[in-house]
Amino acid sequence: MFDNLFTSAADACALAHAIVNTVREPLVVLDRDLRVIVASRSFYTVFKVTSEVTEGRLFFELEDGAWDIPQLRLLLGNILPEHGTIEDFDVAHDFAGLGRRTMSLNARQVIYEGGAEPTILLGIEDVTSQRSLEAEKDSLLAEKDILLSELRHRVSNSLQIIASIILLKATRVSSEETRVHLQDAHNRVLSVATVQQQLQVAGGLGRIEVGPYLAKLCLALADSMIADDRRIVIKVKSEGGSATCREAESIGLIVTELVINSLKHAFNGAKKVGQIVVGYDVADGDWKLTVADDGVGRPDGLFAQPKEGLGTGIVNALAKQLGAQVETISGPEGTSISVTHATFAASAIRAA
């Protein structure tokens, strides 16, 4: 194809020069010794130099040694011949006439079939504004993370204070029905505070490992909600999986609600010994959450009907937000409630 296009080496050279000068970003062609063979018009314009002081000189001597960087020497001298390319190598320097700039370098080695010595195409892009915006973005994100962490901490403390006030009121009312409602409100406020607390301990930002998060959450629930005269153990079984902060918060609230209801209903009366097992299984990025107890059991479908109670409504609403389904299985040996992500349920059905 090219044999028909070019009638002489001079034609090919003219085309190569035209291509170099057409590129908008500065471009330099180097020989095997890293001397400048030719540079693009944009290179001379950007760096305010002429071809007379550029061509034939070592690249590392240009701009008063601006490019004379040990790592860049290694890249161009050793790594480039072995791998053929260099991508996105940043150089920050006070360039004459430009000030402090950040230049991104991309290089490619050109091998010729005719046996001519290889050359290097070196592209130079001014990324000062881009890097500045990236640094500003990272700074703002870090500031946001600090503010969110502080907000979560303050919310948790405030909720604990509210829970303490509610409990204090519960000890002073004479109506047993009112006392029960206040204690129930205390538990729920405290549960939200506990979730916020454990999210902060687990990191609270980005993705959170669900297993350790649930383990710490259940330990906190056991310490605050299991009386000394009740020998009830809360266990967590999880083989991995992570969730966003928002997902982890919803999962934590579901677990807290289900644990509270197990303590309240499954181990009431004389039943004061047993265990609650919290399981979290993952498959191909999807998940299934299970809270099972060996208590007295409860009617099937209790958590499948949104109007059965406040706890049921909370669990179903949170599950809906997560795109999950709630299922209750109850019998003489206890109750198991599963919250299954829809795609996890679908994959389980296909596997069966």
* pLDDT tens string 112-138: 777 778 888 899 998 999 999 998 998
pTM: 0.52
Give the per-residue pLDDT at 348.
52
Residues in CB range of 260: below 8 A, 6 or more apart: 187, 188, 191, 221, 225, 311
Q: How far is CA 209 from CA 215, 223, 244, 251, 338, in A?
A: 11, 22, 9, 12, 20
Residue 35 token pair: 């001397």
Average pLDDT on 140-167 reads 75
Highest-confidence segment of 1-15, 313-327, 335-349:
313-327
What separation in angstroms does the CA of 318 have from each of 132, 195, 196, 209, 306? Answer: 40, 14, 16, 19, 11
**Is residue 344 helix, strand or coil?**
helix
Q: How confident is the model at residue 298 (pLDDT cuts 50, 70, 90)?
A: low
Overall average pLDDT of the 287-315 stretch: 70
Asked if residue 258 has pLDDT above 60, the reply is: yes
Q: At which residue do the structure tokens 């204690």 appear?
A: 183
Name the band, by pLDDT with cuts 50, 70 and 90, for residue 292: very high
Look at residue 67 and tell me whether its pLDDT is greater than 60: yes
Model confidence at 95: pLDDT above 50: yes
What pLDDT, on the 0 to 100 scale, is given for residue 306? 41
pLDDT at 129 (0 to 100): 92
Which residues lie below 8 Å from residue 240, measured CB to CB, with a gap of 6+? 209, 210, 211, 282
Query: Sheet of 119-126: strands edge to edge?
Result: 36-39, 27-30, 119-126, 99-110, 85-95
The mean pLDDT value of the chain amounts to 80
At 304 the pLDDT is 42
- Which one is predicted more confidently, 259 or 12? 259
pLDDT at 201: 61
Higher model confidence: residue 199 or residue 53? 53
pLDDT higher than threshold 90 for residue 80: no
Share of the chain above pLDDT 70, in %: 84
Nearest by Cα to 194 from 234, 237, 242:
234
Would the CA dihedral through 181, 183, 186, 190 be positive or negative? negative
> pLDDT class for 347, splitting at 50, 70, 90?
low
pLDDT for 183-239, tens place per residue?
778 777 777 777 777 776 655 556 888 888 888 888 888 877 777 777 889 999 988
Please report the beta strands in the chain, taking only residues with DSSP state E, as ranges in sequence order. Answer: 27-30, 36-39, 85-95, 99-110, 119-126, 207-209, 231-238, 242-244, 273-283, 286-293, 324-331, 334-341
Q: In this structure, is the dihedral angle defined by the CA atoms of residues 295, 298, 301 and 302, taken in order, positive or negative?
A: negative
Q: Three-state DSSP class for 302? A: coil
Whether the pLDDT of residue 144 is over 60: the answer is: yes
Report the pLDDT averaged over residues 244-256: 87
Q: What is the pLDDT of residue 227?
A: 73
Mean pLDDT on 53-81: 86
Separation between Cα atoms, residue 322 and residue 247, nearest integer Å: 7
Q: Which two tokens stand for residue 223?
A: 């310490």
The pLDDT of 297-306, averaged and rounded, is: 51
pLDDT on residue 56: 92
Residue (of 8, 56, 4) closest to 28 by Cα position: 56
- Helices 210-225 and 176-202: crossing angle in degrees, nearest 10, is 150
Question: What is the DSSP track for 13-77?
Answer: HHHHHHHHHH-SS-EEEE-TTSBEEEE-HHHHHHHT--GGGTTTSBGGGGGGGTT--HHHHHIII
- The tokens for 198 are 């454990």
Tokens of 161: 């204070």
What is residue 2's predicted lDDT score, i.e. its pLDDT?
44
- Say if residues 298 and 335 touch (Cβ distance below 8 Å): yes
